[in-house]
Amino acid sequence: MMQTRLRRPALALLTTGLLAVAVTACGGTNTSDEGSTTPSDDTSSAAGGGELNIALQGDITTYDPWSAQSGYNGSLLSNQALYDSLVHLDASGEPQPWLVTDWTEADSSHYTLTLRDDVTFTDGTPLDADAVVANFEYAKTATTPGECNEWVAGVTATATDATTVDIALDKPSVGFMTDLGTCAGLIVNPTAFDNPESLSSTPAGSGPYLLDDTNSVQGQVWAYTRNPDYWAPEAFPFDTIKLTYFSEATAASNAAKAGQIDLIQSVDATDTSSGLAIKLTSTDFRGLMFNDITGTLSEPLADVRVRQAMQYAIDREAIASAIYGDAAETGYSTPFTTEADGWTDALKDTYPYDPEKAKELLAEAGYADGFTVKVMTVPFIYGDAAQAIAGQLAEVGITLELSDQSADFFQQLTSKTWPMITYNFSIGTNPIHTYENLVSPNGFWNVMQNESPTIEDLLGQLDQAGDDAARTAILEEIAKEFQTESWYLSPTLVRGACAYDDQKLVVDSPPGSPVPFLYMITPA
Amino acid sequence: MARLVVRRLLLAVPTLFVVATFSFLLMQLVPGDPALMILGQNATQSQIADLHTQLGLDQPPMEQYVSWLGSAITGDLGTSIITGRSVVSSLSLALPPTMSLAILATVVSLLLGVTFGMLGAVKGGWTDRAIQQVAGVGLAIPNFWVAYILILVFALTFQLFPATGYVPINQDPVGWLKSLVLPVASIAIANTCQILLQTRASVLDVQSRDFIRTLQATGIRRGAVLTKHVLRNAAIPVAVATGISFIGVFSGVVVIEAIFNTPGLGNLLLTGVQGADFPVVQGTIVVFAILVILTNLAVDLATGWLDPRVRLS
């Protein structure tokens, strides 16, 4: 009997222990030291080649660079592995010789490129002037055009000999060589253009890496091994590269903590949960847009004094820091970052926070009692800040009726029924394109086809500017004019970021690129 | 039995139709524009409009659905709007990770659940009370919380298993198993407890029946009575509970696969919904529905095998 009594509690304990193993979490809570672990089977070797593991936030849907969107998906990194680029960009965004060893710029419409003569595609086809010409021609006809195609849409390229390409643009383009350092300069084997569908699934490049089909799974993971015939292997120090798609940011963060990932391509600039170092990358010009500056839908907005009054009525610093913290700079309703050519500190003083001045301007315009205006919002673009702006405008008598139109965003955007909208515009590697796009009647956000003859004229003058100083002076005028015309109510310039293991890597990217460039990721 | 199978398979057709139609209607409520996701916000309006036409998104929703349904009947589930890949090929890549998860989690749950459920019922006393207490706790813990704790302990602290990812079994069987240990454990805990409690209750019920007492009175060994008679009679509700657990895995994989970045059906469904990619969502939901129908059929067959009365009815 005594034996039985002793045995039962012992058995109960054993049972409980075994079940506790099954219900592992019950006894397993441990909140210590999340970020300091290094896996024993870590294959990342910073010093001598090794593997570079990158977490992507988007799928790689095509290997055709002329159909790829380079933004937040993985296409740019993948294509920089598989394809060689006409020029490289440095960390300040300046073009540097690469496949193009030298270039001359007769004016902003005429360029002559001199190519290396020792580069071949993986099938042995020479990468020569004819190949470059064929790429620019193909870019114009791609069924699903990539992000950069429009930058070479006006190119007429002529191969004058095997290594020389003359380029004539249908209109001047400042920063054309910078464009050739992005996805607009990745050169595809022209033999692949006969079968674009095949190109979408089978790369045809001359880049530093080859796709490792055996270890790649579409939509999940892409592995790359060195191209043994690449002419400049020292510029790409890693022996293998693995890109892994993570649909959830937390999973990528956990993988980084476990040492499975060295770099997360895109993170929220304030998100340090992965334990990795944060590198700020792109800048988004984000805010509320005065869609209806002709006053068709909301009469007050036609008066520039009303739009300017609204600029005075918002406390930019407070909104930027409260909503975005370190992830945003204060914006001054102009798409110029403080590092941009054309920025001057005087832009900060154009619209100080001055509700009284706002009320005066409203009274001058005949709206002393304020007015109400409808705003189409999309929470994932600018929801929180729109609420904050609405709160501050209410103080001067202006009521913003915010309406979430996420469900059919594009249809609503193009319906021309919203006098104001939330918008987000990425300032790219060549900001001139951003300025052009903002005032272009065909621009994505400019659905009312508003026109700014002054800014368009200034943009035109850029192409004729004789030197850098003259160009900067014009850009300063453009920056100011964006504020004066007051199409945008933007208290923030929101920063994109990537996260990387700074013990293993040194990471850089040209200004405006949402992701680091592959050749700017090197061992620490 | 053959009639049962045929009847169930015929019933599957209207079930699939209803599921597909309902999911399509729900997809109409999902915000987002696939063309915008493909081209980005720096695209021009004309590019977006052209892509709408190219993808057929400018057609009325009902026309899109009828067109999809017509192709689906022939086995063509269309192509993803976002990636341009065949939905069937995406599903064939996503099915093995999810099935690996579901089957392993169910096998583990069944083994542990039946073992400890029987132990509790047979031993009684402290053992039973301890088992019930732990099972109650196990049932109450959400699987996503368990997943994060397992990652914290076994991937980040002790580095025994990878925190994320999936290795195909044909590439590296050991790596496959290692990549599944944590997600399987996350799912299996609650399922184990569910099967355990069902087993315990069934065994206790059968043990109290007269025929068991008669068998014991005839001198048959206790172990033999337990395995040959008690377990077989108690197995029917356990089989049903196991089937429900297996089906439950499919509803849980969306979260678990996202946490572990397992490239299965759950992740495919999630990215499909995020991209308003209706062919991918439709295809994935149809596959989930087929899996549920087949599981129910398997449970019916197992019940029939275990209980002749079901076969006769």
Domain count, chain A: 2
Could you tell me the pLDDT band of residue B28, with boundaries at 50, 70 and 90?
confident
In a domain, A366, yes or no: yes
Beta strands (DSSP E) in A50-120 are: 51-56, 84-85, 87-89, 95-97, 100-107, 110-115
Q: Quick one: closest CA in A to B80, which residue? A: A61
Show the domain range for B112. Answer: 87-312
In a domain, B252, yes or no: yes
Closest by alpha carbon to A219, among B169, B291, B265?
B265
Q: By mean pLDDT, which of A126-130, A422-426, A518-522, B2-6 is the weakest?
A: B2-6
Could you tell me the pLDDT band of residue A302, with boundaries at 50, 70 and 90?
very high
Of the two residues B131 and B29, the one the predictor is more confident about is: B131
Domain shared by A342 and A403, yes or no: yes
Q: How far is CA A86 from the centre of its chain?
A: 21
**Interface membership of B197 toward A (CB under 8 Å):** no
Subunit contact B84:A444, Cβ cutoff 8 A: no
**At B106, which amino acid appears?**
T
Q: How far is CA A148 from the centre of its chain?
A: 13
Task: Give per-residue burial for A329-338: e unless 16+ CB within 10 Å, then b.
Answer: bbbbbbbbbe
Using CA atoms, how far apart are residues A209 and A198, in angstroms rounded to an integer? 19
* Residue A172 predicted with pLDDT over 70: yes
Domain shared by A353 and A469, yes or no: yes
Whether the CB-CB separation of A246 and A228 falls below 8 Å is answered with no
* Residue A321 predicted with pLDDT over 60: yes
Give pLDDT tens digits for A330-386: 999 999 988 888 999 999 999 999 999 999 999 999 999 999 999 998 876 777 788
A244: which chain B residues are within 8 Å (Cβ-Cβ)? 165, 261
In a domain, A3, yes or no: no
Identify the CATH number of the domain in which residue A434 sits.
Answer: 3.10.105.10
Mean pLDDT over residues B22-41, rounded? 74
Domain shared by A328 and A380, yes or no: yes
Using CA atoms, how far apart are residues A229 and A272, in angstroms rounded to an integer? 39
CA distances to A152, A172, B300 from A156, in Å: 9, 13, 70
pLDDT at B311: 64
Length of chain B: 313
In a domain, B17, yes or no: no
Subunit contact B152:A444, Cβ cutoff 8 A: no
Domain shared by A413 and A513, yes or no: no
pLDDT at A144: 76
Chain A segment 195-254 residues within 8 A of B by beta carbon are 200, 215, 217-221, 244-248, 250-252, 254
In a domain, B293, yes or no: yes
CA distances to A418, B81, B272 from B281, in Å: 32, 11, 5
Closest by alpha carbon to B204, among B85, B123, B302, B99?
B123
**Interface membership of A441 toward B (CB under 8 Å):** no
B262: which chain A residues are within 8 Å (Cβ-Cβ)? none
Q: How far is CA B202 from the centre of its chain?
A: 24
Could you tell me the pLDDT band of residue A478, with boundaries at 50, 70 and 90?
very high
Q: ipTM higher than 0.90? A: no
Give pLDDT tens digits for A448-473: 889 999 999 999 888 777 788 898 99
pLDDT at A406: 77
pLDDT at A306: 96
Q: Are strands A488-500 and A263-268 parallel, antiparallel or unpaired?
A: antiparallel
pLDDT > 90: percent of chain A = 56
| Distance from the B224 Cα atom to the nearest Cα atom in chain A, whole angstroms | 22
Subunit contact B31:A71, Cβ cutoff 8 A: no
Considering only CB atoms, B31 lies closest to which of A20, A40, A406, namely A406
| Distance from the A231 Cα atom to the nearest Cα atom in chain B, whole angstroms | 32
DSSP code of A371? E
**Interface membership of A482 toward B (CB under 8 Å):** no
Q: By mean pLDDT, which of A12-16, A308-312, B37-41, B280-284 is the weakest?
A: A12-16
* Residue A2 predicted with pLDDT over 70: no
Domain shared by A324 and A240, yes or no: no
Q: What is the pTM of this model?
A: 0.81
**Interface membership of A61 toward B (CB under 8 Å):** yes
pLDDT at B265: 94
pLDDT at A430: 84
Using CA atoms, how far apart are residues A100 and A131, in angstroms rounded to an integer? 13
Subunit contact B39:A59, Cβ cutoff 8 A: no
Using CA atoms, how far apart are residues A81 and A72, in angstroms rounded to an integer? 16
In a domain, B137, yes or no: yes
pLDDT at A20: 38
Domain shared by A261 and A355, yes or no: no
Subunit contact B116:A143, Cβ cutoff 8 A: no
Could you tell me the pLDDT band of residue B11, with boundaries at 50, 70 and 90?
confident
**Interface membership of B33 toward A (CB under 8 Å):** yes
- The torsion region of residue B84 among left (phi > 0), alpha (psi -120 to 50) and beta comes to left
Give pLDDT tens digits for A15-41: 433 333 333 333 332 323 333 333 333
3-state DSSP of B143-178: HHHHHHHHHHHHHHHCCCCCCCCCCCCCCCHHHHHH
pLDDT at A59: 85
Give pLDDT tens digits for B141-167: 999 999 999 999 999 999 999 999 999
Using CA atoms, how far apart are residues A429 and A175, in angstroms rounded to an integer? 9
Could you tell me the pLDDT band of residue B40, with boundaries at 50, 70 and 90?
low
Of the two residues B33 and A217, the one the predictor is more confident about is: A217
DSSP string, A401-445: EEEE--TTHHHHHTTT--SEEEEEEEE-SSHHHHHHHHH-TTSSS
Name the token pair of B258: 């996202």
In a domain, A373, yes or no: yes
Q: By mean pLDDT, which of A60-74, A315-329, A409-423, B154-168 is the weakest?
A: A60-74
Domain shared by A449 and A425, yes or no: yes
Closest by alpha carbon to A431, among A175, A185, A184?
A175
Whether the CB-CB separation of B236 and B303 falls below 8 Å is answered with yes
The three-state secondary structure class of A122 is: coil
Whether the CB-CB separation of B116 and B138 falls below 8 Å is answered with no
Show the domain range for A424. Answer: 284-495
- Disruptive mutation site among A23, A66, A70, A73 for chain B (greatest number of B CBs within 10 Å): A23
In a domain, B51, yes or no: no
Using CA atoms, how far apart are residues A496 and A328, in angstroms rounded to an integer? 9
Whether the CB-CB separation of A135 and A65 falls below 8 Å is answered with no
- Disruptive mutation site among A56, A248, A291 for chain B (greatest number of B CBs within 10 Å): A248
Of the two residues A431 and A165, the one the predictor is more confident about is: A165
| Distance from the A126 Cα atom to the nearest Cα atom in chain B, whole angstroms | 31
Domain count, chain B: 1
Closest by alpha carbon to A493, among A435, A426, A428?
A426
The three-state secondary structure class of A31 is: coil
Subunit contact B164:A442, Cβ cutoff 8 A: no
- Helix %, strand %, coil % for chain A, to 5? 35, 25, 40
Whether the CB-CB separation of A89 and A181 falls below 8 Å is answered with yes
Helix or strand holding residue B281 (H, E): helix B278-306
pLDDT at A283: 86
Give pLDDT tens digits for A393-417: 999 999 999 998 877 777 788 888 9
**Given CA atoms A446, A452, A456, A458 in this order, what sign does their dihedral have?**
negative
Could you tell me the pLDDT band of residue A257, with boundaries at 50, 70 and 90?
very high
Chain A segment 302-331 residues within 8 A of B by beta carbon are none
B82: which chain A residues are within 8 Å (Cβ-Cβ)? 59, 61
B141: which chain A residues are within 8 Å (Cβ-Cβ)? 23, 25-26
pLDDT at A5: 39
* Residue A441 predicted with pLDDT over 50: yes
In a domain, A1, yes or no: no
In a domain, A479, yes or no: yes
Identify the CATH number of the domain in which residue B211 sits.
Answer: 1.10.3720.10
Could you tell me the pLDDT band of residue B264, with boundaries at 50, 70 and 90?
very high
Q: Quick one: closest CA in B to A439, which residue? A: B44
In a domain, B223, yes or no: yes
Q: Which residue has the tokens 């988004």?
A: A284
Chain B segment 239-278 residues within 8 A of A by beta carbon are 258-261, 263, 267-268, 270-271, 274
Domain shared by A239 and A315, yes or no: no
Closest by alpha carbon to A217, among A239, A198, A243?
A243
| Distance from the A361 Cα atom to the nearest Cα atom in chain B, whole angstroms | 34
* Residue A391 predicted with pLDDT over 50: yes
B195: which chain A residues are within 8 Å (Cβ-Cβ)? none
Name the token pair of A424: 């987000």
Helix or strand holding residue B49 (H, E): helix B45-55
Whether the CB-CB separation of A520 and A500 falls below 8 Å is answered with no
Domain shared by A192 and A300, yes or no: no
Domain shared by A51 and A176, yes or no: yes
* Residue A143 predicted with pLDDT over 80: no
Q: How high does pLDDT run on average in chain A?
A: 85
Using CA atoms, how far apart are residues A127 and A83, in angstroms rounded to an integer? 11
